[in-house]
Amino acid sequence: MTRRFGLLAHHDFRQLFCADVVSQCGTQLSLLALPVLAVRQLGANELQMGVLTAFETLAFLVIGLPAGAWVDRWSKQRVLIANDLLRAAALATVPIAWWLDVLTLHQMYAVALVVGVSTVFFDVAYQSYLPELVPSASISEGNAKLQSAESVAHVAGPALGGALIKAVGAPWAVLIDAVSFIGSAIFVTRIRHVSVPPPQVVDRSLRREIAEGLSFVIRHPLLARIAACTSISNLFGSMAGALIVLFALRDLELSEAVLGLSFSAGAVGGLLGAFMSGRLIGWLGEGRAIPFSAAAIVPGGALLAVAGSTVLGWEIPAVPALICSSLIFTFGVVVYNVAQVSFRQRLCPQPLLGRMNASMRFFVWGTMPIGALAGGVMGTYWGIRPVLWISVVGYAVAVVPVALSPLIRMRDLPAERDQHAEAP
């Protein structure tokens, strides 16, 4: 069983995997439904879409660092369950307010903020929980399988979301996402491993614990380079991400169903990346896979920028360009994430995992609300397509920290994690 199914034969990992599948599928529905609802029902413009996207990730900038220290003090299983339920409750208010005809953009901002705060705690606990459940040698396999689940959701979710939005409306698609988080919480409760927080130290200060996580990331020469690459890429990527639905629905005049199908077809690249990541990393080497996969994102961004335009006398069809852009982009992102997240989890001592992951999230996700808001402002004054080209330049700049680093010459990455903290 273990040889045939790998970690899926591992009871606790299987529950975590199923929780991820359920919540990821639901999340893909609301990732399309919420901006469609803002554009179609509430008439949101470029700036308002930028603000909405900024609220979704603002928590990583504001509470990302203390969240890591808190997660290291708490039971990770309880953190996952509590924040699944909180996200379900927040999202459920959207269809209720719409049904009562009182839904506003301000409520959408508030829901985005609450969901973002819960996601901070959930993601930090989630990445820190996996090394407790599986042996160190299986961490890469675990991340690859979880990325596979996310990629399958990216493939099926947008198409299903577009069809649901057309059939029943965007608010009910958001309600399905709320239900999916309840399903995720149920699977997490089935995990048998008891996550025991470390003993409380009376004189331990929150500031000192945060500083330890930051210091681990900043002082490690490879982690610092990876953090710089990801943060720059996310800064410019969020500029484009905040405006892509508005760009497709208004400027390219696509329907919700066609947009969902385009995203789903393009997300096949992420699924391929998840299945091929092990072989690619083995062929290129763990170190070299990181800069090469980061560089693969650049042409994906360029294809989005030229969608529906004329280049050197050639008309670039919008839908094929969107699909090819997403194919390339998601493939590069998934391979990059499998390589660098597995490295981080192997490298870090287990008592420090929550703070290390929170510090990385602070650096790499903390730039996203800034980018989203900047994209909304620039889109208001310059138009959406120039913002898309600026993001392409940003993707290229992001490659520099890892390309001009020891990673490009390294086949195998170090594993300095405390062996005594490994799961059995």
pLDDT value at residue 384: 94
Strands (E) in 345-410, as ranges, are: none
pLDDT above 90 covers a percentage of the chain that reads: 33
Q: What is the mean pLDDT of the chain?
A: 83
101 in a structural domain: yes
- Residue 422 buriedness (CB in 10 A; 0-12 / 13-18 / 19+): middle
Close Cβ partners of 383 (under 8 Å, ≥ 6 residues apart) = none
270 in a structural domain: yes
Q: What's the pLDDT tens digit per position in 263-310?
A: 777 778 877 887 787 788 888 888 888 999 999 999 999 999 999 998
pLDDT value at residue 420: 36
40 in a structural domain: yes
218 in a structural domain: yes
Q: Within a 13 Å sphere around the CA of 169, how many CA atoms are in the beta-carbon half?
A: 10
Torsion sign over Cα 270, 329, 64, 128: positive
Q: Which of 107-111, 301-305, 356-360, 392-396 has the lowest mean pLDDT?
A: 356-360
CB distance 108 to 84 below 8 Å:
no
Higher pLDDT, 125 or 332: 332
pLDDT value at residue 168: 75
Give pTM, 2 decimals.
Answer: 0.77
Q: What's the pLDDT tens digit per position in 71-110?
A: 777 888 889 999 999 999 999 999 999 999 999 999 999 9
**Does position 33 have pLDDT exceeding 60, yes or no?**
yes
Q: How many domains, the chain?
A: 1
Domain range holding 294? 2-193+206-416
199 in a structural domain: no
H/E element, 342: helix 318-347
The predicted model gives 334-358 an average pLDDT of 77
Q: How far apart are CA 387 and CA 271, in angstroms?
A: 28
For residue 393, name the pLDDT band (cuts at 50, 70, 90).
very high
222, two tokens = 């490879």
CATH of the domain at 66: 1.20.1250.20
The predicted model gives 246-275 an average pLDDT of 82
Q: How far apart are CA 58 and CA 81, in angstroms?
A: 22
The predicted model gives 163-180 an average pLDDT of 83
The predicted model gives 365-380 an average pLDDT of 93
Q: Coil, helix or strand for 379?
A: helix
197, two tokens = 């927080």
189 in a structural domain: yes
Q: Which of 110-124, 195-209, 383-397 has the lowest mean pLDDT?
A: 195-209
